[in-house]
Amino acid sequence: MKKQITVAGLAALMALSLAGCGTNNGGTTPSTSDTGATSATDTASSSGYNLQVKDLNGDGIITVGFAQVGAESGWRTANTQSYKDYFVEANGFKLVFADANQDPDKQKQDVRDLIAQGVEVIDLAPVTDSGWEPVLQEAKDAGIPVVISDRQLSVSEDLYLTYFGGNMYAEGQRVTDFLKTYMADNNITTANIVHLQGTIGSTAQIGRSQALTEAAAANGWNIVYEQTGEFTQAKGQEVMESFLQQNKDFNIIYSENDDMTYGAIAALQAAGKDPKSYVIVSFDGNKSAVQMVVDGTIKAIGQCNPLLGPQVGDLIKKSMNGEAIPKITYSQEVLIDSSNAADQLKTAFGS
């Protein structure tokens, strides 16, 4: 089965899938696995992808090549650490780590290098969504299965084994639903929104931005400023500073990760403004950010779980055992707001 999903259609299809009438993975309905993660009932093998993870060199250890995005955020640091902790010899693995420094071209070369090195499986956390078909085909031709993690790809399902990570569009919808309710509860009748976007073309940005664009159109919200802060604190601060210099009215900040949120808050403070007088919403759920929800500085966070190493490891083991694995598994994620922040703080990742 060869199914091509367009970038524009990806977020919408992901939403349909969660609603139980999805067509992005073979017209299946999602089910909840025992880890609580949401997965489609379609399996990797029924997608037309026949590679299985194997101990190709017979040394009893599976060498995992990890093509990581970079080190741009607290989420990323926790994600990398989770792979480094899990993929160790005691668990039957060895990790070869490649850092793309947020550069999509370098990352394609990284994957080609991993193929040339003869790793036994590749885990790709793609910087951006475009141009992956030739590289994934090369991995397939070399007999090396590819797991996509963290950021989904809109490529044909017969080019990769499985996807594990967040449903970025659903995360965005949780936050826009929160905004709608929060405005109603607090008699806020106008929404003038500053939109700090993540890395343009990453599915984390595409899904979260799409949810906002749709909610803005449906509810008559204004997006007064929209720019990428590339998921970093420094860029988030810089972008917010340049917006503040324009002196336009705004009452909401929709920031696509915590690091940019920290930067935006620093910019507000430097301009003598009180962050608590704005409705600031964020994504990820680093410990400090969850603490800010407890304090009321951030009103809500669309949680995104970075601790993917062990769960990806489970899928790899299942593939080795010839077990059926879902084509897509979404992490279990919630909205963090004042009602559950104190509780979420106990298990929040990072610092």
Question: Which residues contribute to the site for ligand GYE (CB under 6 A)?
Answer: 72-73, 75-76, 150-151, 166, 204, 231, 257, 283-284, 304
CB neighbours of residue 182 within 10 Å: 17
Q: Is the Cβ of residue 63 or residue 286 nearer to ligand GYE in the bound state?
A: 286
Short-list 175, 179, 190, 192, CA closest to 285: 175
Question: Residue 285's Cα: distance from chain center in Å?
Answer: 12
As measured in angstroms, the least distance from the Cβ of 154 to ligand GYE is 15
Q: Is the Cβ of residue 61 or residue 234 nearer to ligand GYE in the bound state?
A: 234
Short-list 231, 147, 222, CA closest to 183: 222
As measured in angstroms, the least distance from the Cβ of 221 to ligand GYE is 22
As measured in angstroms, the least distance from the Cβ of 126 to ligand GYE is 9
Short-list 238, 237, 245, CA closest to 265: 237
Residues 265 and 229: beta-carbon distance below 8 Å: no
**SS3 category, 157:** helix
Q: Is the Cβ of residue 204 or residue 280 nearer to ligand GYE in the bound state?
A: 204
As measured in angstroms, the least distance from the Cβ of 287 to ligand GYE is 14
The three-point CA angle 189-195-198 to 5° equals 150
Residue ranges with strand state E in 212-344: 222-228, 252-255, 279-284, 300-303, 328-330, 335-336
> What torsion do the CA atoms of 72, 109, 135, 73 make, to the nearest 10 degrees?
0
Q: Is the Cβ of residue 18 or residue 183 nearer to ligand GYE in the bound state?
A: 18
Instruction: State both tokens at 313.
Output: 């490891």
Q: Is the Cβ of residue 75 or residue 349 nearer to ligand GYE in the bound state?
A: 75
As measured in angstroms, the least distance from the Cβ of 231 to ligand GYE is 4
Q: Is the Cβ of residue 49 or residue 178 nearer to ligand GYE in the bound state?
A: 178
Scan for tokens 């790793």, then name that residue.
119
Q: Is the Cβ of residue 75 or residue 278 nearer to ligand GYE in the bound state?
A: 75
As measured in angstroms, the least distance from the Cβ of 165 to ligand GYE is 7
Residue ranges with strand state E in 189-266: 192-197, 222-228, 252-255
**SS3 category, 38:** strand
As measured in angstroms, the least distance from the Cβ of 76 to ligand GYE is 5
Question: Residue 38's Cα: distance from chain center in Å?
Answer: 15
